[in-house]
Structure 1
C-alpha cells in the first residue's frame, strides 16, 4: 500500500516536471508559445531561439536540479546529518575555486580538454572537499555543530581566495568569476547539456543502485558491516559520485545553493527516509524547483535577468 503511494507521488512529480517544462518553454521576453510557433516556418528566427536558446537552458536546469538535490540527499544520509549540503559544507565552493583557477590560469589544463577542463577542475575541487569532510567525520568527537562550523570555515577561506582571484583577474575574467559565484544557466547550449548529461546521468544511476546500501548505513557503520556491507568502499563510492554530481553542476551553472538542502527534506516529509524512493523523488523535486526558479529569474523583470 505504501509502495503504491510512493509510486503515485513519483508519477505526480514527473507530471509536475512536464507541466513546468511547458510553462518555462512558453515564458520569456518573447512570445514563443507552441501555438504561436506552429504557424511559423521552421527556418524562422523565433524557432532558432526556442530550439537553441530556450530549450537547452530548460534541459540544463532540469539536469542540474536533479544532480544537486540527489547529492544533497546522499550527503544527508551518508553523514547522518540533516544539515549536510554541498553549499553548506563548502563542496560547491571548492568546485568553484578550482573553476576560478582554471579561468585565471587556463594553461593549467590542456587546451584540447576545452569544456572538460572546467569539468575536471570542478570535479577535483568538489572531491577534495568531500574527502576532507569525510576524514573529519571519522573523528569520534565530530558532531553536528562541528560539521557546520567546518563548512562555514571552508566557505570563508575559499571566499577569501576567490576575492584575491577577482582582484588579480582582468575585466572579462572578473565577469566570468562573478557569474560562477552567483549561479547562472544563461550559457546553456545543447553541447553543454550533452556534456552535463554524459556525466550526471551515470552518477545518478550509480547512487540509485546504492540506495539499499545507503539505507543500511543509517543503522550505523558497525551494524551495516554485520549485514554484509563493505562500509568504507560504499562511502568512497558515494563520495566519488557526489563529487561528480556537484562538480559537473558547478562547472555548467556556477554555485546554486540550498537546492540540495531543502528538496530532500521536503520529499522526506512525504516519502519517509527510504532512499529507494527518496533519491529519485529528490531528483525530480530538485529539477522542478530549479526550473521554476530559473523561469522566474528570466521573466520577472524581462528582458533583464536575475542571476
Structure 2
C-alpha cells in the first residue's frame, strides 16, 4: 500500500513539473518582449485549459466508475447533441447577430441550466421508472442524442446561410474566444463541483467494487448514482457552454490515467488525470499555434487523436480477451 502511494505521488509530481514547464513555454514563447499582451491573450486560454481539463477528468472518471465501463463517456447522455440543438434553436429563432452581440453571464448560465435540467429530469424519470437500470438510461440518452441531431440538422438546412455561418463558430470547441466573465463564473462552479467529487472519492472507491458490494458496505447506490449524474451533467454542461463540445478529451485522459497511475484510488486518478489533461491541452495548443501556424484547431487534433486511441483500445481489448 505504501509502495503504491509513494509511486502515485512521484508520478503526480513529475506530471506537475511537466505542466509547469509546458505552461511557461506556452506563455513565454515568441512574445517579442510584449509580455502584457501575451499574458492577457494566452493567460485566458490557459485558464480555459485548466477548467476544461479538470471538468473532463473528474466527470469522465466518475462516470466510468458508475457505469463500470472504461469505453463510455458522459457525452453518451446526449449533452453535446443537446448543446448543438439549443444553439441551433437560438440562432434560428433569435438570430446570430443579436445573440453574439449580447452574450452575458445570464445567457451562459441559461445554456448550462437547460442542459443540466434536461439531464436531471431524464435521469430522475428513467432511473425511477426503470428500476434504477443505468444502462436503460444510457440507451435512451443515445436515442435522444440522435433525435436532437436530426432536428438540429433540419433547422440548419433551412437556416439563412449567414446565420448558419455564425452558428458554426459556436458548435466547434474554441479556446481562443472565451469570454472572460464566463471564464470566471465557470471556474468557480467547476471548482465547487470537482471539490464535491473529491470529497466523495472514498464512496467512488467503494462503488468501483460493484453495486452489490457498495450496497453491502452502506452506500445508497440509486441515490448516489442520481447525485453523480447531476454533478457530472453540470461539469460537462459548464465545459461545453464555455468552449464548445470536446467529445474525446475525457476518454483519452481517463484511460491514460488508469494506465499511468496504476491504482483505483480516485483521488490519485483525479489529480493525475487533471494534470495530464492540462498538459495535453496546453501542449496541443502550442503545436497548433507555433508548428501548424493555426492551420488547424485544437478540437480537431483532439477528436482525431481520440478516435485513433478509441479504435486502438478496442483492438487491444479484443486481443487480450482472445
CA deviation vs aligned residue, 1:135-190 (integer Å, no higher than 9, x gap): 6678589797x887655534332222222332454456423431232211111253
The answer to whether residue 273 in structure 2 is matched with residue 282 in structure 1 is: yes
Q: CA RMSD in A?
A: 3.1
Query: Contact (CA 8 Å) 2:132, 2:222: kept in 1 or not?
Result: no
2:229 is aligned to 239
- Give the 3 Å change call, closer, same or farther, for CA 264–65 of structure 1 in structure 2: same
Query: Out of 41, 47, 57, which is 1:59 matched to?
Result: 47
- Give the 3 Å change call, closer, same or farther, for CA 261–303 of structure 1 in structure 2: closer
The range that moved more, 171-180 or 244-253, is 171-180
Superposition map of 1:168-179 within 5 A: 168-170=158-160, 173-179=163-169
Aligned residues: 290
- Give the 3 Å change call, closer, same or farther, for CA 181–5 of structure 1 in structure 2: same
The answer to whether residue 68 in structure 2 is matched with residue 86 in structure 1 is: no
Aligned structure 1 segments of 4 or more residues deviating by more than 6 angstroms = 140-144
Give 1:227 deviation, angstroms. 1.4
Larger RCO of the pair (alpha carbons < 8 Å, separation 6+): 1
1:77 is aligned to 65
Give 1:21 deviation, angstroms. 1.0
Superposition map of 1:196-235 within 5 A: 196-235=186-225
- Give the 3 Å change call, closer, same or farther, for CA 180–130 of structure 1 in structure 2: farther
| Bigger proportion of residues as helix | 2
The answer to whether residue 12 in structure 2 is matched with residue 10 in structure 1 is: yes
* TM-score normalised to structure 2 length: 0.77
SS at match of 1:273: coil
Query: Out of 278, 281, 287, which is 1:296 matched to?
Result: 287
CA deviation vs aligned residue, 1:35-54 (integer Å, no higher than 9, x gap): x42xxxxxxxx344313211
2:242 is aligned to 252
* TM-score normalised to structure 1 length: 0.81
Query: What runs of 5+ residues in structure 1 fail to find an aligned partner?
Result: 38-45
